A and B are shown apart, each in its own frame.
Chain A
Amino acid sequence: MRNIRLNVNGEDHEVEVDPRRLLVHVVREEVGLTGTHVGCLTGDCGACTVMVDDRSVKSCSVLAAGADGACVRTIEYLGTEEDLDPVQQAFLDEFAFQCGYCLPGMLLTVRELLDAEPDPDDAAILQAISGNLCRCTGYGPIVRAVRAAVRSTRGGEGS
């Protein structure tokens, strides 16, 4: 066992972990933030996506000990029910999810994309979200939502 320090969504946590413990399990079990999901544990589905030091990572493929000292952001950080991030709002407006299980990955990936490239073309959108599996929507509504988020962000800049 060893002690690690994580800053999760702005709060400092000191956690004692088994060196083999995955970051996703620490975020869900020790930190208690269950918005990050486990879908495959093989790095393929993206439901466990979190931001580690401002880069999206699949937290099932990261040992918690390896993230010692890191700054972790999860879906819970993105926005609240009263104050949704524009990406969340666009997903709501465009019916871009059904069961919601893939949302942590989809939302954080799209947020990361738009932070880096405020006006991505469809190819960039598809490339960004292709690491995240969704079995409900068929992806079209997600692409529509990303386009809407781009429009709303642009509109916001203009006002």
Chain B
Amino acid sequence: MNTSVPSKGTGRVGEAAKKRDGKALLTGGARYVDDVRLPGTLYAAVVRSTVAHARIRRVHTEEALSLPGVELVLTGERARELTEPIPYFIDPVVRGARRVDIHCLESERVVFVGQPVAAVVADTWEGAQRAARLVRVDYDVLPHVLDAEQAMSDDAPRVYEEWADNVVLSKSYGTGDPDGALSSADVVVTGSFRSERTTTAPIEPRGFLARWDAREETLTMHGSCQNPHQLRWMLSTTLGIPENRVRVITEKVGGSFGLKMQGQPEETLVALLSVLTGSPVKWIEDRRESFLAGSRQQVHRFTVGARSDGRIVALVNEIVADAGAMTAQAGWAMPNMSATTFPSGYRIPDCRIDLSIVATNKPPLSAARGFGKDSAHLVMERVVDLVARRLGLDPALVRERNFISSDEFPYRTSTGLNIDSGDFHGLLDKATKSLDYEGWRARQAKARGAGEHIGLGLALELTPESSDSPGSFVSGFDTTTVRMSVTGSVTVLTGVTSPGGGNDTGIAQIVATELGIPLEWVRVVQGDTDQCPNGFGNFSGRSMVVGGGSAALASRDVLRTLTTVGARMLGVERVEVREGAVVDPEGSDSVPVPDVARAVLTRSFEIASEVEPILESTRAYKPGNIDHRPDEHGRIQPYPTYSSCLHATAVRVDAETGKVEIADYAMAHDCGTMINPALVEGQAWGAVVMGLGAALSERLVFDEAGHTVSDRFKSYLLPRASDVPMIRMEHQVTPSPFTMHGNKGAGEAGVGGAQAAIANAVEDALSPLGVLVDRLPLSPPTVLELIRRAKEGRM
């Protein structure tokens, strides 16, 4: 559970109120899951597959069991008798995809290195680690496949023998006649792009502390997680414990970025270990385990047609997405969003996107900030630049000519998304001005004369947010309770959670503003399924849209009672609430809100008669613009809002060393109304730098046997402070017509656009050498390889 005590100061909607949990975090007083201490806690360690594909012959537990302090060694066979398969967060069958049963421990056939096959419980953390190393597993090794394109060939090993091939989902999106439009285009450009596997890498890994109370028959799960209610449902399903006997408490979350959405095997596993031992059991993921989770890895092959003035007339794109092994977590479904995000904010009615999501013998994808949209932006923005380059036009001009205009919204894209609002031309103007685009072009020309390589990169990023998926717990609404006590203090209990972004602060600002009370009177409680109303936690930039909207609705109910009774106390018809007092706007009389609250709750047969004596309301908020009824092209519209941003960067590339230096970076950002601009900016900044990591240095590397080689921060290179620029951020506000405050989802925009802007800038820098950028990350060896290839191509 997270509660936040307010910082003093500004607190109305639109102001940069300080993070409410800030002081606790700054002084080491915040409690993360590994900080929770329960008497008698035992420690779990997971035994993982050491082979990429094999039948499990036997699991030897004797040696581990003989160690002092070891309480339990659980095998997959035993776990399978005790638990049901993990329910999918996003059901593949509903999406027309293939599925497999996923258990908390695999008992028959492992399909990736790192898959949980057994678990050990001991009285110390070190003891559990030691015992886990002593569990031996005999495998009959089977052939494996690690590359998605290879996995699509007829003779490829099958990841799941019950499937006819390795394709999880094959689907086409788009409308119009792209082939016809291509044949009438002035120019046709074809190309491909390959992105490598990256990972979310929050600094706090995942972790859970489960406590089964045998007498009460209740399970309490403390976790570093984003979605406590969904986790409760999942544990109830896998363990067969009634849902009202499961309590999930989200402790302070040390970053997540999608990783800590539920559906991973260890959640059920840790709970089961507590049930079996009768003791609290803690499991904290180690960094190597955390590096198993993949974020993205796709190959795109595209054909784009344009008129000679730069207007794009058609786009055909084939995506092969490497999902790794299947997961009950949301990760497997991300590439679907890559497909439907095309053609982004560009007016291209003739468009076809062919998607294949393919299973391989790598670890599964885990949900990751961007959720597939990032890969679409990376490739779409490359496509626009390639058109510009072919035509000899400036990339800024080609963008201007193809952007959907602000008077066309809401605009239905060919893949089905209904963009609510925006002003992409305005973003381009702001970002290029902020960067001094013209100035950099002049510097570039001068540098080229001196043999130096400066490049400019632009990228639009359109971010569909706050998704809904019918019949699932990917929900487009959420619920909040606002409760005022007899002393006027307010408790807000909300279904949305905050893994660090600070939506608790934003929600408190909304409640304080709606009720006309100081921010200090508001306490926000999140992430406790026993306290908070049924809700859906944190994903898809939803928390301020639906958490904020429902908090406003509930506040207004409380306000109505306050003003009714307050008006009676003042003996006037109409009152307002300002700065904690009910005031007569015509005169000078006022009565403090706590006095009114006290009257409502203690004088209900007197001055508050005929008023229902309750200062509490629970409301759900559903934004507009979501429509799951397929149109004549079969398109659905799962998103209420579409944030947008435009990245503009200047890079210097050292053609001798391959080193890319980001010389300048500007971003124009539009998430509609900002509830708290400082928090929005912080999210955007972090997302950009996460994208810069994917663009320049981050890559999960596997050896031929399927082992993750880059299993620590020494070999998986997150950006460090000295690697990244100071970003200049410009804001544009086009309020969404479909949300209560006009806000749009914030927090994901940045990851895809940053990758695209860097790829475009590096190609622009090296264009005199004929370099074509068709892959990421652009680490020095890759840049040198691209230069070498360009030289060979010209010979």
Using a CB–CB cutoff of 8 Å, the interface residues on chain A facing chain B are: 18, 20-21, 25, 28, 33-42, 44-45, 47, 74-76, 78-81, 84, 88, 91-93, 95, 97-104, 107, 125-127, 129-143
How long is the Cα–Cα vector from A81 to B21 in the complex, in angstroms?
A: 11
Are A135 and B257 closer than 8 Å at their CB atoms?
A: yes
Complex contacts, A97 vs chain B, CB 8 Å:
19, 22, 25-26
Given contacts A76-B27, A139-B689, A141-B685, is CB(A93)–CB(B255) below 8 Å?
Answer: no
Are B32 and A101 closer than 8 Å at their CB atoms?
A: yes
The chain B residue with its CB closest to the CB of A82 is B23
Stretch of B200-208, B394-402, B420-428, B452-460 contacting A (4+ beta carbons < 8 Å): B200-208
Q: How far is the CB of A124 from chain B (nearest CB, A)?
A: 11
Are A44 and B714 closer than 8 Å at their CB atoms?
A: yes
Complex contacts, A76 vs chain B, CB 8 Å:
27-29
Complex contacts, B200 vs chain A, CB 8 Å:
135
Q: What are the 5 A-B residue pairs with the smallest beta carbon separation, nearest first?
A: A35-B28, A99-B500, A100-B25, A101-B254, A138-B689
How long is the Cα–Cα vector from A106 to B32 in the complex, in angstroms?
A: 18
Are B713 and A34 closer than 8 Å at their CB atoms?
A: no
B679 at the interface (CB under 8 A from A): yes
Question: Could you list some 26 contacts between A and B, CB below 8 A?
Answer: A34-B34, A36-B28, A37-B204, A41-B287, A44-B712, A45-B713, A74-B28, A75-B27, A81-B24, A84-B23, A84-B26, A91-B26, A95-B681, A97-B19, A97-B22, A98-B501, A99-B256, A100-B21, A101-B204, A101-B255, A125-B721, A126-B722, A134-B721, A138-B687, A141-B685, A143-B721
The chain B residue with its CB closest to the CB of A129 is B721
Complex contacts, B714 vs chain A, CB 8 Å:
42, 44
Are B27 and A88 closer than 8 Å at their CB atoms?
A: yes
Partner of B712 from A40, A78, A101, A132 at Cβ < 8 Å: A40
Are A103 and B724 closer than 8 Å at their CB atoms?
A: no
Counted as pairs of residues, one from A and one from B, with CB atoms less than 8 Å apart, the total is 180
Complex contacts, B28 vs chain A, CB 8 Å:
33-36, 74-76, 103-104
Are B26 and A42 closer than 8 Å at their CB atoms?
A: no
1/0 per residue, CB under 8 A from A, across B174-215: the answer is 000000000000000000000000001111110000000000
How long is the Cα–Cα vector from A134 to B686 in the complex, in angstroms?
A: 9
Partner of B23 from A74, A81, A102, A133 at Cβ < 8 Å: A81
Complex contacts, A133 vs chain B, CB 8 Å:
203, 713, 718, 720
How long is the Cα–Cα vector from A132 to B720 in the complex, in angstroms?
A: 7
Are A92 and B29 closer than 8 Å at their CB atoms?
A: no
For this complex, into which size category does the number of interface residues on chain B fall? 35 or more
Q: How far is the CB of B67 from chain A (nearest CB, A)?
A: 14
Q: How far is the CB of A111 from chain B (nearest CB, A)?
A: 12
How long is the Cα–Cα vector from A136 to B253 in the complex, in angstroms?
A: 12
Q: How far is the CB of B496 from chain A (nearest CB, A)?
A: 16
The chain B residue with its CB closest to the CB of A78 is B27
Are B254 and A99 closer than 8 Å at their CB atoms?
A: yes
B82 at the interface (CB under 8 A from A): no
1/0 per residue, CB under 8 A from A, across B30-41: the answer is 111011000000
Are A42 and B23 closer than 8 Å at their CB atoms?
A: no
The chain B residue with its CB closest to the CB of A146 is B721
B502 at the interface (CB under 8 A from A): yes
B678 at the interface (CB under 8 A from A): yes
Complex contacts, B501 vs chain A, CB 8 Å:
98
Complex contacts, B202 vs chain A, CB 8 Å:
99, 101, 135
Are A138 and B727 closer than 8 Å at their CB atoms?
A: yes
Given contacts A40-B287, A133-B718, is CB(A100)–CB(B712) below 8 Å?
Answer: no
Are B126 and A20 closer than 8 Å at their CB atoms?
A: yes
Complex contacts, B254 vs chain A, CB 8 Å:
37, 99-101
Are B32 and A130 closer than 8 Å at their CB atoms?
A: no
The chain B residue with its CB closest to the CB of A25 is B125
1/0 per residue, CB under 8 A from A, across B201-245: the answer is 111110000000000000000000000000000000000000000
The chain B residue with its CB closest to the CB of A33 is B28
Complex contacts, B126 vs chain A, CB 8 Å:
18, 20-21
